[in-house]
Structure 1
């Protein structure tokens, strides 16, 4: 099976994503979708590997069980880097133990598809989704839009940085925090996108490293460091900033003028799965109206246009998006992470 084709749907995100806030699809109503009206399945158990925060993963499973109480979902939660290591280890021993994989970045799923690790499946409500998050060959589908942005502590920063270039200024030396691409799939993806971007590239990443940012394990500790003022400015996914601001923390978000990288938290079914029907039902639910309404309630930007957007989130067509060629990012991501290690060690 060849995966040499370019994923043009993802590259077209900057155009296609506008439809999320524009027109509603004709394929389903917001109040009812195939996943919400599905027939009962045979009682079974599926295993989910995910990088979702544990609380959100628990909420997701609980909502799915309102539709399919006969399916037990066992969750193994870890950062994307740890998950991919676990999958690689299991692959060597002969069988991947998970049925469903829900994690940060599309290049990981491209690699899995190239290695014949994923089962082809097109969700029941696929026509309701933005085509930018749907793998044309049907091995995975995005479940939410997660941009990486600049966060800042409003008690400590008078003028918000407006661009990625601003973060290389001397005034931000020893005042930055960002996630580790060895742990965070989104951070690994971002490293490759930044290095691929003409207006940023290795020169910008080298200048950023010269400001000696603290490297946290993942996005959660980054957002907490900014909210508490341990580090006044951070590079982090936007939904965490909204959540902390809603809780009263002095934190706000800036969308850099050069554009923001994003991940779509794809989901796919492993080819080794022996619980295919239940796994497909779980995927259907994730992108159904009910599943996407839950995503919005969890502060994520949705992948369909009929469920609204989180309070305080900008309109998607007001955000400059960095949408590189996915095949390029896939082939360069490992090298980008190594470059990051060398610069930030």
Structure 2
């Protein structure tokens, strides 16, 4: 027998979904020909940094309202893909951890090609050849050390697997953090490290937590003496007076570029392009540097305490290789650390 109560509930929920979609994009759709209205940004940036970026953008574009959904990269992308399946993508612009994540969306034909006029000064290595996304900064992963709790200084990633550092280190999970997922793919394909390195970390009592923010909190509080972390987070904590320092590992550093891209389904592409242009502009890059990030654009100085992109060794692996193996890498990591 047909259940009319279930049908009524379904129609009500569908109506709410349409209202929600209209609320996020309706007014922006009317402004598509210009650069006003509203856009929705999905990002893995810390909430405070996203708001600082938007505030700087609004100094130049006060007529464009930017709404934000913020979470870890993996959750942001899961949300976008679920919305794509339902035909209700709310995001106009994506700003998340790494290019491998964007390759996933590119393969699904979800990204609009857009060659920003602000690309000058950005190395080609950080620009997608098809212009579906562009790096906005360079974030390396290294080692944060709590100087009041540490019994010694690790010089390399390999040191964290040594007995003297047993049960005293923490790292973000690749199941939550896009940067950590990228690091996993790079490190397991780096000569002298590979999967044996992660196996050694497991044996040495490495703690796995949700994301870089949790690593930062644990090491700053002294709950752990060491952590694998994004450079800017350790450096910002140091500048705020925390007893920590950041070490660029001897093997080299995995480096994500936190790309930005435009969704094909955007209801306000002109305003979205204006936002992308600002992020890649000199002023946008200076804003990023003030927030503690290493800028991707030549001629913009990195923040005190961090190296410029030409001054550290970057560990690199084929993006295609990382993209094709990301799911398998995360599955193997889960199996390893659930033992």
TM-score bucket of the superposed structures, by smaller chain: 0.7 to 0.9
Alignment of 1:124-135 (within 5 A): 124-135=117-128
**Equivalent residue of 1:84, what SS?**
helix
Q: Distance in 2 between matches of 1:202 and 1:172?
A: 19
Question: Residue deviations 1:148-181, cap 9 Å, x none?
Answer: 0011111122431011111111111110111111
> Residue 94 of structure 2 contacts residue 260 of structure 2 at CA under 8 Å; is this kept in 1?
yes
1:117-175 deviation line (CA, Å, top 9, x unaligned):
00000111112212221111100000010000011111122431011111111111110
Q: Following TM superposition, by how much is the alpha carbon of 1:341 offset from its aligned partner in structure 2, in angstroms?
A: 1.0
Larger radius of gyration: 2
| One of 36, 44, 51 as aligned partner of 2:37 | 44
- Deviation (angstroms), 1:237: 0.3
Partner of 1:6: none
Preserved CA contact (<8 Å) 1:41 1:71: no
For 1:316 and 1:61, locate their aligned partners in 2 and report how far apart those are by CA, in whole Å. 25
Shift of residue 41, structure 1, vs aligned partner: 4.1
Distance 1:41 1:130 in 2: 30
2:326 to 303, 319, 333: 333
Secondary structure at the aligned position of 2:105 is classed as helix
State the Cα deviation string for residues 250-281 of structure 1 (Å, max 9, x = none): 10111111111010000000010121100100
Corresponding residue of 2:246 = 253
SS at match of 1:318: coil
Aligned to 2:276: 283
Equivalents in 2 of 1:65, 1:53: separation in Å?
19
**Which structure 1 residue ranges, 5 or more long, are not aligned?**
1-39
1:85 counterpart (78, 83, 106): 78
- Which residue is equivalent to 2:287? 294
Q: Contact conserved, 2:41 with 2:69, CA < 8 A, in 1?
A: yes
Q: Call closer, same or farther: CA 1:207–1:75 in 2, change over 3 Å.
A: same
CA deviations 1:57-94 (Å, max 9, x no partner) are 00111111111111110011111111111011101101
After superposition, where does 1:27-66 map in structure 2 within 5 Å? 41-66=34-59
Structure 2: gaps (5+ residues): 1-32
- Deviations for 1:168-221, whole angstroms, at most 9, x for unmatched residues? 111111101111111100001111111111211011110011112221111011
Which residues in structure 2 correspond to 1:112-131 (within 5 Å)?
112-131=105-124
Whether the aligned pair in 2 keeps the contact of 1:212 and 1:344 (CA below 8 Å) is no
TM-score normalized by structure 1? 0.86
Q: RCO higher in 1 or 2 (8 Å CA, sep ≥ 6)?
A: 1
Contact map agreement 1:292 1:307 (CA 8 A) in 2:
yes
What is the aligned partner in structure 2 of residue 322 from structure 1?
315
Q: 1:77 and 1:267 mapped to 2: Cα distance? A: 14
Structure-to-structure mapping, 1:66-85, within 5 angstroms: 66-85=59-78
Kindly indicate whether the alpha-carbon contact (under 8 Å) linking 1:222 and 1:235 is maintained by their aligned counterparts in 2: yes
Q: Tell whether the 8 Å contact from 1:150 to 1:233 is kept in structure 2 after alignment.
A: yes
Q: Give distance in 1, aligned partners of 2:308 and 2:182.
A: 23
Question: Could you tell me the TM-score, scaled by structure 2's length?
Answer: 0.88
The equivalent residue for 1:212 is 205
1:207-250 residue CA offsets vs partner (Å, 9 max, x unmatched): 01111222111101101211121000000001011100001111
The whole-number CA distance in structure 2 between the counterparts of 1:288 and 1:148 is: 25
CA distance in 2, matches of 1:94, 1:111: 18
Is 1:344 the counterpart of 2:337? The answer is: yes
| Counterparts in 2 of 1:341 and 1:43: CA distance versus 1, 3 Å | same
